[in-house]
Amino acid sequence: MALINKIREKSGVAVTVIAISLILFMVGGDLMGPNSFLTGGNNQSVGEIAGKEIDIKDFQNRVDGYRQNYEAQSGRSLGENELASLRDQAWNQFIVDIAYKKEFDDLGLTVTDQELVDMVQGNHLSPSIQQAFSDPTTGQFDKSAVINYLKNLKTLPIEQQRSWANFENNLKEERIRAKYENLLRLSTYTPKAQAEREYMAQNTKATINYLYVPYFSVVDTTIKVTDAQLESYLSEHRDEYKGSDTRSIEYVTFPVQPAKDDSASLYQEIKDLARGLATAENDSAFATMNSDINLPINMSMANMSDQLKEAVKTFVPGGVYGPYREDNTYYIYKYDGIRKDSVSTARASHILIRAENQSDSAKAAAKTKAEGILAQIRAGANFEALAATSSADPGSAQRGGDLGYFQNNGAMVKPFEEAVFSMSSPGLVNKLVESQFGYHIIKVTDPRSNTLYRLATIGKTIAPSQSTRDEAYSKADQFVNSVSNKEEFLEAVNKNKELVLATANRIPETATNVNAIQNGREIVRWAFNDRTSLNSVSQVFETEDEYIVAVLTGKSDADKVKIDDFRDELTTKVRNQIKSEQITAKLKGATGDLESIAKKYGAGALVESATDITLATGFLTSAGFDPIALGKAFGLKPGSKSDVFSGENGVFIVELINKTEAPKIADFTQYKTQLTQSLEGRTSYLANEAIREKAEIKDKRAKFF
C-alpha cells in the first residue's frame, strides 16, 4: 500500500486508477470469486455438523497444524494427495469434536490425568506409544526412551512440544472412543430364542425339487418399460434409493507418451551415470542424488523385481550392471556383495479351503475336502491347476496359488508363517495348516533365506520432452476448439479413430480421482461448478501424463431423486416384475409333476434338485442363494408342493421331498456366541453411521478445495 500511496502523490488521477487496479488485482479473488461479497457468495462455511457451522478459517488452521506436524516429521513438503488426506483427517476430527463428543459427554466418558500417565509410561501402554518408541531395528518397545524423552521435553523446540501435546490429546481421544465402542459392544445381547433359531437354520436339512424359470430366459427386448412405470416403482420404493450429489461425464484423453528421441536421450544419460556410479567414493549417496526412484540399499528377494531376481544371481561384487528397462524406467546397479539379515524371506503358494460357516460340521467338510486335494497333489496332480480351480483365495488362485515373496515378520498369519519358514528346501508342506481363514495346502517355491544383497541403484524414468508435451496439448486444444456441445463432442470422437471414449458415472463432489485419472480434482470441480450446464464441454485439463477433455452428461441431487439417477437399476427391477407376471400367468394352475409342468411351459423352465440344504447355507444350482425360495421350501410339509411364486432372480414352484429336523440340544452357547460376535464386529460401523446420520452433516469442502 505504501507503493500505491507514493504513486498517487506523483501521478494524480491516472495513477489512482492504476492503484485501484492493483488493489483489485491483489484482492480480486476475494471480491470477485465464487465466495465473494460482491457476487453474493460470502458464505465462508466449509460445512455443518449437528447444526454448527465450520468456518473456513478454523478448518484451514487445523489443516495447517496437521501439515506442519507432518512436514516436521517427514522432512519434506506434502503432495496434493497427501494434503487432501489431511483435509479429510481435519474434517473427521471436527465430526469427533462436535458429534461424537456430545455422545461421550452424555455418557460421562473421560480420560483422567492419571489414566493418561498410565497410557504413556505406566502398566497399560497405548499401542501408539509402543509403536512410536520401538527400536526400528529390532521392533522392541523401549520404555526408557519414553521416560528420557519426557524428561527432556521442556528443552526441546516449541514445535516439538506442541507436537507432543497434540499426540497426547490424540491418545486421550483414542481411549475415549475405545471406551465408547467397548461400552456398546458389552451391551450387545443375543436371546436364547434367537440362538435356537440360528441353530435350527444351520442344522435342519431338507431335500427339495424345484421348477425354476429365470428372468433372463425372457429376452429383455420383448419387455417395454415406460418412464411412468419407473416413476411408480421409485415412488413405492423411495427408501431404497438414497439421493446423492453426483456428476457423470464422458471424456477423451490425449496421452503424453515419451517419443523415441526422449528414450534415446535418457539412455545416453544413464550410461553416463553408470560411469559415475562405478567410480563414486560413496556409491549409495551418488545413487540417491541421481535416482528418480528411491530403493533400499540392502534388498532381499522380496524387494526385487522379477528381472532383478534373475540378474542378481550373475552379479560380481564391485561391478556395475545395466541398464535394465522396466516399463518406462531404466535401472543400473552397483553390486557390493551380500550380508545376513535378522529377518528371513521365502516364497510360497497355497490352496485355501474355507468352511462355509463356523459350525463343526462345516469345518469337518472343509478339512475333508482339503485332505482330498492334498492327497491328489501327493499322487502327482498339478498344484497350480488345483489352486486355480479349488482355492478360496481369489487373488492368488489366478496365479496358481503364488503368494510371492514375504518375510517372517508377521506378514502372514502365524501358523502359515511357521509352516513355510520351517522348510529348508522347496517342496510341499506335508500336512494341512489351519488358520482363522481355513485350511491351507502349502507349496514352498523358494525356501527361507536371510540373505540381503547390497545394491546402489539408480532408476531414471523416461519423461516426455517439452516438445512432446506441446504436441499432445496441441491435439487436445484443437479438439476442444472444434466442439461446443455433447453432440459435436461425440461426432468428433467418432471421426477420430485414435480417440477412445470413456465414461465416469456418479462422481461424488469430494472425489480426487476420476476412474484411473489421478489428481482429477479440477475435472470434478468443473463438473460441479454451477456454471457448468448439462452437455457442455470442458476446457483442456492437464495431468502428469495426459490431457483430458470432458463433456457433462448427468447430474444428480441428494434432495431430488429422479429416475435418471437410478435408471438402469430401476429398469431392471421393473422389467423383472413384468417378466414375473408373464411367467406366473403361464404357470398358474398347472397340474402334474414338475417335469410335466416344465414341459408344458416350454423353453426356459428348469427342473433341479437340492440335497441336504439348510436355511443358513442353502444354495440352488441355477438360482444360487435365494432366501425367498428357501423360506418357501422349509415352510412346506414333506411331499407337498408350493404354488407359483417369484424369487430373487426368477419364478419357482418348490416341492419338499423330506426334511430332517436338527437334533434336540440343551446348550445353544456356541450359536449365541456366533451371533453376538457378529453383532459386536459391526458395532463400531453401526455406531459411526448412526452418529453421523443424527448429526445431519453437510460437507461443503468441495467448493473450496
Residue 91: inside a domain, yes or no?
A: no
State the CATH number of the domain containing residue 581.
3.10.50
Residue 408: inside a domain, yes or no?
A: yes
Please, which pLDDT band fits residue 667 given cuts at 50, 70 and 90?
very high
CA 495 to chain centre: 37
Using one digit for the tens of pLDDT, what is the confidence trace for 109-162?
A: 999 999 999 888 888 888 888 888 877 666 678 888 888 888 888 888 887 888
Q: How many domains does the chain have?
A: 5
Which positions ≥6 away from 256 have C-beta within 8 Å? 464, 468, 469, 472, 545, 546, 547
pLDDT at position 43: 66
The C-alpha atoms of residue 86 and residue 650 are separated, in whole angstroms, by 48
Place of cell 423383472: 576
Res 33 pLDDT > 90: no
**pLDDT-wise least confident of 32-41, 148-157, 204-213, 359-368:** 32-41
State the CATH number of the domain containing residue 417.
3.10.50.40
pLDDT at position 463: 77
CA terminus-to-terminus distance, the chain: 29
Residue 102: inside a domain, yes or no?
A: no
Q: Tell whether 311 and 403 lie within a shared domain.
A: yes
CA distances from 582 to 103, 213, 328 (A): 53, 11, 58
Q: Tell whether 594 and 534 lie within a shared domain.
A: no
Res 632 pLDDT > 90: yes
Residue 690: inside a domain, yes or no?
A: no
Res 657 pLDDT > 70: yes
Residue 602: inside a domain, yes or no?
A: yes
Q: What percent of the chain has pLDDT over 70?
A: 92
Q: Tell whether 266 and 396 lie within a shared domain.
A: yes
- The HSE-up count of residue 344 (CA atoms within 13 Å, CB side) is 15
Residue 685: inside a domain, yes or no?
A: no
Crossing angle (nearest 10°) for helices 158-186 and 56-74: 110
Q: Average of pLDDT values for 376-398? A: 87
Q: Answer yes or no: are the C-beta atoms of 675 and 199 closer than 8 Å.
A: no
Report residue 298: phi and psi, to 5°.
-100, 115
The C-alpha atoms of residue 489 and residue 93 are separated, in whole angstroms, by 43
Q: Tell whether 320 and 439 lie within a shared domain.
A: yes
Last residue of a domain, one of 499, 530, 559: 559
Last residue of a domain, one of 509, 533, 559: 559
> Residue 518, exposed/middle/buried by CB under 10 A (0-12, 13-18, 19+)?
middle
Q: Answer yes or no: are the C-beta atoms of 331 and 459 closer than 8 Å.
A: yes
Res 535 pLDDT > 90: yes
Last residue of a domain, one of 497, 530, 559: 559
Please give the sequence-ordered ranges of beta strands (E in DSSP) within 577-685, or none if there are none.
Answer: 606-613, 645-646, 650-660
pLDDT at position 502: 93
Domain of residue 272: give its range.
259-463
Beta bridge partners of residue 699, listed in sequence order = 47
Q: Tell whether 252 and 304 lie within a shared domain.
A: no
Res 4 pLDDT > 70: no
pLDDT at position 42: 55
Q: Tell whether 472 and 505 lie within a shared domain.
A: yes
Crossing angle (nearest 10°) for helices 567-587 and 227-236: 90
Please give the sequence-ordered ranges of beta strands (E in DSSP) within 170-273, or none if there are none.
Answer: 205-214, 246-255
> Residue 105, exposed/middle/buried by CB under 10 A (0-12, 13-18, 19+)?
exposed
Residue 95: inside a domain, yes or no?
A: no
Which of 76-80, 238-242, 358-362 ranks highest by mean pLDDT?
Answer: 238-242
Question: Hey, is 365 helix, strand or coil?
Answer: helix
**pLDDT-wise least confident of 64-73, 333-342, 641-650:** 64-73
Q: Is the pTM of this model over 0.85?
A: no
Res 552 pLDDT > 90: yes
Q: Tell whether 238 and 269 lie within a shared domain.
A: no
Q: Tell whether 412 and 327 lie within a shared domain.
A: yes
Average pLDDT score, the chain: 86
Res 335 pLDDT > 80: yes
Q: Tell whether 309 and 362 lie within a shared domain.
A: yes
Question: Hey, is 346 helix, strand or coil?
Answer: strand
**pLDDT-wise least confident of 130-134, 164-168, 214-218, 434-438:** 130-134
> Residue 629, exposed/middle/buried by CB under 10 A (0-12, 13-18, 19+)?
buried
Q: Tell whether 577 and 629 lie within a shared domain.
A: yes
Using one digit for the tens of pLDDT, what is the confidence trace for 211-241?
A: 999 999 999 999 999 999 999 999 999 888 8
Q: Answer yes or no: are the C-beta atoms of 81 and 513 closer than 8 Å.
A: no
Q: Tell whether 439 and 340 lie within a shared domain.
A: yes
> Residue 458, exposed/middle/buried by CB under 10 A (0-12, 13-18, 19+)?
buried
Q: Tell whether 437 and 332 lie within a shared domain.
A: yes
Length of the chain: 705
Q: What is the DSSP string of 111-127?
A: --HHHHHHHHHSSS--H
Residue 641: inside a domain, yes or no?
A: yes
